[in-house]
């Protein structure tokens, strides 16, 4: 069963526009226009990730693509999985790309599988307890699938025997888990997420061509040596340290651009601005009713590109309020941009380096 919030814009003949429907919930068995595994690319992941904002997310019921997660009852935030950190100045790990998502092979409590490398996840480790059977734990919230079924979100005092790539951790404390079976449609061995706190002391170099991620504690010269530098983009963060924000434009429209490895790409904007982009030929439908081609993008006054087959939705994204985005036009960019470059995410200096692949 699918619950939808829909809106329709009637287009006159020959206008180049069409009726559009934005879906904020998805069926557990798939949804129209989604990839064949039944998982939509963007807002669904934001839904599951942004529970870790605690009271910030609990204060606003966010409409989501596949699940709505909220804190009930509120709990006192403590540092999550503080043991799951990088212990060396330079660390390099292989990654696997499944569709547009980067994964690191891992193991938790004897269960092998894949951990999504997701800059949009604040915590260093969050476990999919549908894949990894965990006993006990303190209930800190409740989640709901689009079908109406609910699941618990739990905090575990200790999780033992953790491996991320070839990095081993005997145990981790204060670890969150939740039922993320929907992401098993992306990869059936989905163990959970590796997030920002895992590497926040290092710059992260992400290379989709050679399927490698490396983390560097040193100065930029140490991770830029031998690279062909394309651009350096200065970014800001607002409420969350793990979400880079840049100024952008789409044609003559101002936009805020957010970056995230755990997504493909999407555009959130008001109806009148969507209409302007259609009329100006910058936004065009595709054969997929839920995907649009967008051109005329300029990021930070320096990088020009076009984004193919992104989602377009009316109103703010699920993550806008928790991140601190007040602008009404938000362009969320993940794989649609990142596949073009080797990228270095230097959160300490608030710089994104774009390097030739």
Per the structure, the complete domain to which residue 87 belongs is given by 43-216
Rg (CA), the chain: 20
Is the per-residue pLDDT at 133 higher than 70?
yes
CA 61 remoteness from chain centre: 19
Tell me, yes or no, whether 88 and 195 share the same domain.
yes
- The verdict on residue 7 lying in a domain is no
Tell me, yes or no, whether 176 and 234 share the same domain.
no
Tell me, yes or no, whether 201 and 156 share the same domain.
yes
Tell me, yes or no, whether 257 and 179 share the same domain.
no
Give the pLDDT confidence of 49-99 residue by residue, as tens digits.
Answer: 554 433 333 322 232 333 333 333 344 457 899 999 999 999 999 999 999
Tell me, yes or no, whether 73 and 192 share the same domain.
yes
- The verdict on residue 9 lying in a domain is no
Of 155, 185, 216, which one is at a domain's C-terminal end? 216
Tell me, yes or no, whether 135 and 243 share the same domain.
no
Give the pLDDT confidence of 257-291 residue by residue, as tens digits.
Answer: 999 999 999 999 999 999 999 999 999 999 999 99
> To the nearest whole number, what is the mean pLDDT of the chain?
83
pLDDT at res. 27: 26
pLDDT at res. 145: 72
pLDDT at res. 234: 98
Tell me, yes or no, whether 209 and 235 share the same domain.
no
DSSP string, 11-62: --TTSS-----------TT--TTS-TTS--SSHHHHHHHGGGGTHHHHTS--
CATH, residue 243 = 2.40.70.10
Phi-psi region of 324 (alpha: psi -120 to 50; beta: other; left: phi over 0): left
pLDDT at res. 35: 34
User: What residue has token string 């476990």?
Assistant: 127
The domain tally of the chain equals 2
Q: Which of 324, 318, 288, 325 is nearest to 5 (CA)?
A: 318
pLDDT at res. 11: 29
pLDDT at res. 58: 31
- The verdict on residue 2 lying in a domain is no
Give the pLDDT confidence of 294-341 residue by residue, as tens digits.
Answer: 999 999 999 999 999 999 999 999 899 999 999 999 999 999 999 999
**What are the CA-CA distances from residue 200 to residues 142, 196, 203, 230 (Å)?**
28, 6, 7, 24
Task: Report the pLDDT averaged over residues 176-181.
Answer: 95
8 or 221, which is more confident: 221
Is the per-residue pLDDT at 195 higher than 90?
yes
Tell me, yes or no, whether 247 and 276 share the same domain.
yes
Percentage helix, strand, coil for the chain under 3-state DSSP, each rounded to 5: 15, 40, 45
Of 170, 187, 216, which one is at a domain's C-terminal end? 216
Q: Residue 218 in contact with residue 89, Cβ under 8 Å?
A: yes
Q: What is the pTM of this model?
A: 0.82
Q: Most distant CA pair in the chain: distance in Å?
A: 64
Q: Of 23-27, 150-154, 200-204, which gets the smallest average pLDDT?
A: 23-27
CB atoms near residue 150 (< 10 Å): 11
pLDDT at res. 143: 82
Tell me, yes or no, whether 211 and 233 share the same domain.
no
Tell me, yes or no, whether 274 and 336 share the same domain.
yes
């Amino acid at each position: 069963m699918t619950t939808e919030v829909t809106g329709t814009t009637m287009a006159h003949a020959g206008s180049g526009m069409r009726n559009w429907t934005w879906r904020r919930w998805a069926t557990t068995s798939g949804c129209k226009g989604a990839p064949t595994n039944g998982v939509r690319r963007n807002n669904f992941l934001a839904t599951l990730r942004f529970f870790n904002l605690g009271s910030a997310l609990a204060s606003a019921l966010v409409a989501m693509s596949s699940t709505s997660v909220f804190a009930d009852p509120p709990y006192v935030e403590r540092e999550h999985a503080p043991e799951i950190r990088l212990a060396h100045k330079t660390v390099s790990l292989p990654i696997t790309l499944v569709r547009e998502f980067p994964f690191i092979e891992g193991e938790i409590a004897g269960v092998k599988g894949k951990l999504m490398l997701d800059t949009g996840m604040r915590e260093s480790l969050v476990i999919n307890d549908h894949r990894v059977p965990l006993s006990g734990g303190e209930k800190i919230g409740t989640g709901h699938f689009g079908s109406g079924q609910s699941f618990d979100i739990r905090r575990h005092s200790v999780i033992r025997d953790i491996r991320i790539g070839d990095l081993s951790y005997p145990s981790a404390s204060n670890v969150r888990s939740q039922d993320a079976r929907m992401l098993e449609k992306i990869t059936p061995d989905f163990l959970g997420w590796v997030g920002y706190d895992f590497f926040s002391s290092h710059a992260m170099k992400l290379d989709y061509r050679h399927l490698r991620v490396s983390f560097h504690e040193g100065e930029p010269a140490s991770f830029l040596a031998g690279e062909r530098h394309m651009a350096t983009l200065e970014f800001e963060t607002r409420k969350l340290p793990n979400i880079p924000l840049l100024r952008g434009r789409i044609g003559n429209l101002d936009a805020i651009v957010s970056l995230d490895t755990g997504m493909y790409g999407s555009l959130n904007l008001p109806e009148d601005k969507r209409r302007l982009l259609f009329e100006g030929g910058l936004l065009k439908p595709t054969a997929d009713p839920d995907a649009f081609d967008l051109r005329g993008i300029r990021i930070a006054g320096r990088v020009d590109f076009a984004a193919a087959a992104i989602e377009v939705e009316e109103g703010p994204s699920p993550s806008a309020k928790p991140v601190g985005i007040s602008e009404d036009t938000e362009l969320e960019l993940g794989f649609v941009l990142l596949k073009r470059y080797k990228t270095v995410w230097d959160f300490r200096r608030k710089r994104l380096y774009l390097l030739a692949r």
